[in-house]
């Protein structure tokens, strides 16, 4: 038996033995993937494995590194057929390639697997609003179990970009604007996907951190644009979540980003992928390319090119030298790797270096020893009742109450006999980007009707945001204004018949999404409500009926008009498949909202940047306008009230290498149970370089019964005080640090004490 076939040997030894047996061509094959070309090479029109196609296209018996998104074969496969397909493809490569190297299957799993029948959880921006890493870990443990049962080995998730420009259409894929919050959620997601990293129970998958790096603050807010930030800001804000997810979560894979930093696209950056990722951080996993990004080092005629390379062959050389292990999604530039080695442009030892970690994780995943899955298990677990309940819990914890004048909510059934549910998002399936087709989806209208009891529920769309509105629909069509005003007039007639109005507004899956092509845009130059939604707000408010607004959107929206005219506002982001039930429970008070904003809501696009952790000179004021945000980071109301005691330091003076703890008492002073998110912010008063006015360095979501007091304890370690000083050394400087605790980032919501570091 060859050593690489011996399951009793360490994976590292098996890798060495296998590499020694592989030809140059077989090594090149492991650095390639098939996705859109599945229909040409592996499957028939119905998504079933086609052995004749496979035999014809892989007759060289070299094997293949990965197959992308088998769940979308033939359109969309149900769980059982999906598992049958991965088994059939795997069997072909195990039995028909010369060395029997299994393939790895990857899938999109942004908020649940993007596949038919899979459970759909809230979008990451919504999960960020929960401020609950333990919940996030459970969400992605469930996602991993559903994906693994279908044959998936790698999830192209989580996104740990720090979103600092709301104009960017991919904000919904992130956990928000703060590096500490994003890192906390990213670590939790990795642990959910990978568990202890041993993959022995076949219920976990490899996590992929993306997009490395600084993708979340593109120039002009447009996707893939250059990121113009200093080295210090790059490390402290944008690299921090990646480093933490590798160091504390053990992430196995990283996806390089489309954007450039200091003139060098990430896929060609040896400094980023070798010096920082591998040498500084000790990363031992593998780097995957973003889709088509290696080609873009040269030129993608239908989109753009970075023009670092004259053609695909030279682009391949740049990416390989930088340290990109595999090209996604289809064979293109890396088809030239063997030729580049033969010409002496690349060394074969470089291919060995890049192939080895991918083989290592195929061994650690057990693919050489137990490569197949049970289709019946895939059917059983996909969208199961336990995961549905988890999706509902996540949706409940996501909902964030921004305004509640005169206790407009929860609704009192004794005062509301007829309720009008109006708006373009009232009766619409809204999941956001990178979503599958869950077994069920409850719209807001459906959820309210199911919960309303004897309350009569009326409905009108009011106006439309776009015509159609699918995430996959390239062209964005805005409806005719004259027709929309007729709809608004009809909606007003409905509103007049009601005692109160629920307005369902915001965006849809076209108005905020990944802009992946010139004909498929998603970034915006405005943050105002799209279409005639503000006219709808004005018209309904003019009836004098109480207005309760639910916002569904993928990015912060400058809803100034709504904030003036609605009595209550809920920010929901995208709540996943249980949208309607969770929203209705909050509306009627069955659930007390406890979400907090993971990103600032600005007054207008002209107020950008609006992130809270700015430098001291950055928010001096505007002529004729308020500089403050509409709603700040960390903000969120409740149906109860909470009081905070002052922060108490265990030691008020410490040495630079020492730690201390701060304690804060929080009491539920209201009539109902609720959950409060206690937040810790720190500011270095005097430092060798300018520091943010405050930085989140701890948080805890605390459930409290009426009258209950809980003491929340935060550890203040050197890591929470350190930064890159004037000499770019990461250290703690002596001096005074403001320690701030409260329930949002606003100064008026925080109490302070001072820690002295000597």
Query: Is 260 a domain residue?
Result: yes
Q: Of 350, 381, 412, which residue constitutes the final position of a domain?
A: 381
Q: Is residue 622 part of a domain?
A: no
> Distance of CA 271 to CAs 5, 265, 294, 605, Å?
36, 11, 17, 34
What pLDDT is recorded for position 469? Answer: 85
Query: What crossing angle do the helices spanning 481-496 and 533-541 adopt, rounded to 10°?
Result: 30
Distance CA 453, CA 456 (A): 8
Nearest to 757 by CA among 684, 683, 653: 653
Q: State residue 364's pLDDT score.
A: 98
Calculate mean pLDDT across residues 218-236: 97
Domain residues for the domain of 131 are 18-34+104-381
| Range 500-515 average pLDDT | 97
- Whether 78 is covered by a domain: the verdict is no
Could you tell me if 684 and 648 are in contact, meaning their C-beta atoms sit under 8 angstroms apart?
A: no
Whole-angstrom Cα distance, residue 722 to residue 170? Answer: 30
Same domain, yes or no, for 517 and 597? yes
As a whole-number percent, the residues of the chain with pLDDT over 90 amount to 98
Is residue 554 in some structural domain? yes
Q: How many CB atoms lie within 10 A of CB 57?
A: 15
Q: Are residues 242 and 208 in the same domain?
A: yes
Q: Does 296 share its domain with 433?
A: no
Is pLDDT of 277 > 90? yes
Is 58 a member of any domain? no
Question: Do 275 and 180 share a structural domain?
Answer: yes
Q: Closest Cα to residue 128, out of 690, 626, 573, 658?
A: 573
349 pLDDT above the threshold of 90: yes
The band of 639, judged by pLDDT with boundaries at 50, 70 and 90, is: very high
Whether residue 508 is predicted with pLDDT greater than 90 in this model: the reply is yes
Do residues 300 and 228 share a domain? Answer: yes
Residue 723 has pLDDT above 90, yes or no: yes
Residue pLDDT, tens place only, 116-160: 999 999 999 999 999 999 999 999 999 999 999 999 999 999 999
For the annotated catalytic residues, the residue numbers are 290
Residue 373 and residue 413 share a domain: no
Number of domains in the chain: 3
Q: For 168-319, list the strands marked E by DSSP.
A: 206-212, 253-256, 260-261, 264-265, 286-288
Task: Judge whether 420 lies within some domain.
Answer: yes
Q: ∠ CA 706-710-712 to the nearest 5 degrees?
A: 145
Burial of residue 601 (number of CB atoms within 10 Å: 0-12, 13-18, 19+): buried
The string of DSSP letters for 661-713 reads EEEEEEEE-SSS-EEEEEEEEEEESS-SS---S-EEEEEEEEEE-TT-EEEEE
Residues 358 and 471 in one domain: no
CA atoms within 13 A on the CB side of 707: 0
Q: Please, what is the average pLDDT of the chain?
A: 97
The two structure tokens encoding residue 164? 């600092």
Confidence class for position 303, pLDDT limits 50, 70, 90: confident
User: Does residue 493 sit in the same domain as residue 363?
Assistant: no
Q: Which helix (H) or strand (E) holds 571?
A: strand 568-571
Same structural domain for residues 354 and 400? no
Distance CA 609, CA 615 (A): 11
- Write down the pLDDT at residue 360: 98
- pLDDT for 302: 79
* Same-domain check for residues 402 and 474: yes
Q: Are residue 659 and residue 525 in the same domain, yes or no?
A: no
Tell me, what CATH number does 205's domain have? 3.20.20.300
Q: Does residue 456 form part of some domain?
A: yes
Q: Find the mean pLDDT for residues 6-12.
A: 98
Residue 94 burial (CB count, 10 A): 18
Percent of the chain at pLDDT > 70 equals 100
CATH of residue 474: 3.40.50.1700
Summarised one tens digit per residue, pLDDT across range 383-395 is 999 999 999 999 9
Return the DSSP state at 517: B
Give the DSSP per-residue string, 417-442.
Answer: SEEEEESTTTT-----SS--B-S---
- Assigned domain for 588 exists: yes
Please report, for the domain that includes residue 729, its CATH number.
Answer: 2.60.40.10
pLDDT band (50, 70, 90) for residue 379? very high
Residues 403-427 pLDDT 10s = 999 999 999 999 999 999 999 999 9
Task: Show which of 323, 355, 381 is a domain's final residue.
Answer: 381
Mean of the pLDDT values across residues 332-348? 98
Residues 403 and 350 in one domain: no
Q: Is the dihedral of CA 145, 156, 523, 436 positive or negative?
A: negative
Q: Pick from 607, 627, 652: which residue ends a domain?
A: 607
Beta strand 418-422 with 264-265 is: unpaired
């Amino acid at each position: 038996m060859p050593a690489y076939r011996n399951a009793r040997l360490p994976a590292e030894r098996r890798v060495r033995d296998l590499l020694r047996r592989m030809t140059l061509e077989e090594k090149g094959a492991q650095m390639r993937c098939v996705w859109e070309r599945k229909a040409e090479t592996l499957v028939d029109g119905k998504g079933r494995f086609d052995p004749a196609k496979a035999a014809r296209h892989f007759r060289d018996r070299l094997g293949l590194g990965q197959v992308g998104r088998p769940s979308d074969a033939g359109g969309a496969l149900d769980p059982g057929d999906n598992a049958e397909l991965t088994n059939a493809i795997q069997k072909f490569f195990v039995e028909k390639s010369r060395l029997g190297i299994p393939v790895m299957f990857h899938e999109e799993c942004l908020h649940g697997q993007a596949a038919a029948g899979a459970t759909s959880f809230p979008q990451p921006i919504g999960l960020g609003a929960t401020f609950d890493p333990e919940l996030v870990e459970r969400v992605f443990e469930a996602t991993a179990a559903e994906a693994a049962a279908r044959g998936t080995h790698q999830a192209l998730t989580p996104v740990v970009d720090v979103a600092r420009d709301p104009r960017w259409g991919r904000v919904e894929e992130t956990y928000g604007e703060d590096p500490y919050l994003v890192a906390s959620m990213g670590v939790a997601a990795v642990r959910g996907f990978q568990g202890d990293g041993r993959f022995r129970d076949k219920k976990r998958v490899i996590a992929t951190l993306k997009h490395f790096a600084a993708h979340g603050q593109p120039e002009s807010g447009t996707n893939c644009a250059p990121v113009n930030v200093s080295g210090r800001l790059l490390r402290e804000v944008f690299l921090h979540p990646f480093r933490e997810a590798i160091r504390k979560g053990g992430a196995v894979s990283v996806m390089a980003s489309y954007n450039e930093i200091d003139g060098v696209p990430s896929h060609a950056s040896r400094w980023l992928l070798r010096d920082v990722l591998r040498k500084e951080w000790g990363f031992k996993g593998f780097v995957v390319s973003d889709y088509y990004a290696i080609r873009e080092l040269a030129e993608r005629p239908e989109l753009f090119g970075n023009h670092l390379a004259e053609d695909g062959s030279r682009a391949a050389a740049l990416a390989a030298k930088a340290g990109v292990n595999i090209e996604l999604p289809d064979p293109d530039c890396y088809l030239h790797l063997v030729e580049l080695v033969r010409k002496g442009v690349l060394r074969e030892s470089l291919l060995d270096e890049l192939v080895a970690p991918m083989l290592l994780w195929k061994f650690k995943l057990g693919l050489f020893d137990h490569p197949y899955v049970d289709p019946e298990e895939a059917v059983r677990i996909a969208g199961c009742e336990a995961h549905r309940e988890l999706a509902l819990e996540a949706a409940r914890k996501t909902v964030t109450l921004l305004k509640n004048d005169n206790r407009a909510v929860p609704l009192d059934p004794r005062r509301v006999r007829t309720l009008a549910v109006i708006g373009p998002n009232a009766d619409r399936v809204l999941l956001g980007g990178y979503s599958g087709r869950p077994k069920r989806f409850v719209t807001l209208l459906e959820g309210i009707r199911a919960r309303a009891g004897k309350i009569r529920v009326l409905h009108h769309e009011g106006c439309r945001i776009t015509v159609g509105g699918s995430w996959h629909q390239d062209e964005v069509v805005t409806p005719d204004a004259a027709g929309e005003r007729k709809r608004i007039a009809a909606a007003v007639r409905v509103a007049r018949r009601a005692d109160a109005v629920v307005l369902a507004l915001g965006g849809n899956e076209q108005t905020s999404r990944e802009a992946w092509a010139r004909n498929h845009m998603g970034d915006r130059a405005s943050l105002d409500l799209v279409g005639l939604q503000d006219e709808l707000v004005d018209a309904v408010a003019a009836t004098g009926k109480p207005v309760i607004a639910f916002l569904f959107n993928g990015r912060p929206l400058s809803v100034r008009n709504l904030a003036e005219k609605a009595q209550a506002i809920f920010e929901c982001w995208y709540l996943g498949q249980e949208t309607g039930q969770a929203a209705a429970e909050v509306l009627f008070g069955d659930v007390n909202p406890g979400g907090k904003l993971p990103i600032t809501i600005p007054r207008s696009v002209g107020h950008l940047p609006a992130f809270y952790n700015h430098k001291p000179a950055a928010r001096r004021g505007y002529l004729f306008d308020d500089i403050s945000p509409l709603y700040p980071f960390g903000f969120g109301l409740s149906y109860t009230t909470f009081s905070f005691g002052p922060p108490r330091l265990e030691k008020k003076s410490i040495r630079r290498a020492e730690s201390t703890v701060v304690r804060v008492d929080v009491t539920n002073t209201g009539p109902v149970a609720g959950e409060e998110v206690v937040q810790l912010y720190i500011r270095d008063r005097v430092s060798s370089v300018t520091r943010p006015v405050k930085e989140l360095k701890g948080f805890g979501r605390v459930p409290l019964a009426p009258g209950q007091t809980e003491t929340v304890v935060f550890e203040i370690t050197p890591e929470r005080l350190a930064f890159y000083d004037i000499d770019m050394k990461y250290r703690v400087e002596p001096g005074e640090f403001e320690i701030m605790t409260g329930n949002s980032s606003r100064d008026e919501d925080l109490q302070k004490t001072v820690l002295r570091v000597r």
